[in-house]
A and B are shown apart, each in its own frame.
Chain A
Amino acid sequence: MRQRQASQGTRRSREFEAFVAGAAGRLLHAATLLTAESPDDNPRARRLLTLALAHTYACWDRLRGEDPYDRARQYLALRFAHGAWRRHGVLFGGRTHPDSPLSRLTPQERLVLVLRLYEGVAEQQTAALLGLPTERVHTICDRATATLLHPPRGAAPAVVGAKVVAS
């Protein structure tokens, strides 16, 4: 009995290690985009990723055929949403690094854009996850895309100002 449990434990840890090896890179990239940090210096993104993967580890036995990647991504997104709300508010961009491609967007715009376009989550699922109406997700996504592709003049000083205030 104990032997069976032990072998189950090693199988479980092997499976989880394979999952982490496969998913960590992409999830870390997504987290770095969310926190708008530079790819070389991303403590917040690493922390988010560690928490999300630890949560996935803790509910690994109760997944019952659900996609662990999906679960980790959901946890990451929600954790980021709550953290952004608590720490910086929706209006402030928080500390963004100018190296990040999304540094000009608000946390909510980054969240929607990363879920919709980088991760390819459907509009309805994004809306359900974030508790927003589908039309709102659509609008935010459009606006963020427009801001990224056609940067408004005078936006860069605002980001620098927010950075000074936040730090």
Chain B
Amino acid sequence: MNRAQREAAVRQLMERGAPQVPADLYAEVVRRGSRMLRRRSAARRFMWLLLFAASVAFVVWALTARPWVEPPSTTTPPMTGW
């Protein structure tokens, strides 16, 4: 028995007894699939919202803290009395 014959025999063995497809399969698939889509779009919306909130928070912080302004020196005392 060569390879092709063996494979054909196994194929024949596997082809036997096809199961019955359940009648409500399509409805169930669409229900689950649309739930997946809904969840995905909700997650995407949530991510965008989070990004927006983070950037707003950063801008507000930057405007109030002004990190680019040189802080007043704490080591050298101010020169007065010249």
Interface residues of chain A, those whose CB is within 8 Å of chain B, are 13, 16-17, 20-21, 24-25, 28-29, 32-33, 39-40, 42, 45-46, 49-51, 53-58, 99, 101-102, 113-114, 117-118, 145-146, 148-149
Contacts and interface: CB of A to CB of B under 8 A. Distances in A.
Contacts of B40: 58
A46 B22 contact: yes
A20 B33 contact: no
B49 interface: no
Interface in B1-45: 1, 6-7, 9-11, 13-22, 25-26, 28-30, 32-34, 36-37, 40
A113 B9 CA distance: 12
B34 A114 contact: no
Given A57-B34, A117-B10, A117-B11, A29 B18 contact: yes
Given A117-B14, A148-B13, A25 B33 contact: no
Interface residues of B, number: 27
B14 A101 contact: yes
Majority SS at the chain A contact face: helix
Contacts of A16: 30
A46 B18 CA distance: 13
Give the 8 A-B residue pairs with the shortest CB-CB distance, closest first. Answer: A57-B33, A54-B32, A39-B19, A54-B33, A58-B36, A53-B29, A39-B17, A101-B13
A57 B18 contact: no
A45 B19 CA distance: 10
Contact of A50 (B7, B16, B29): B29
Contacts of B34: 57
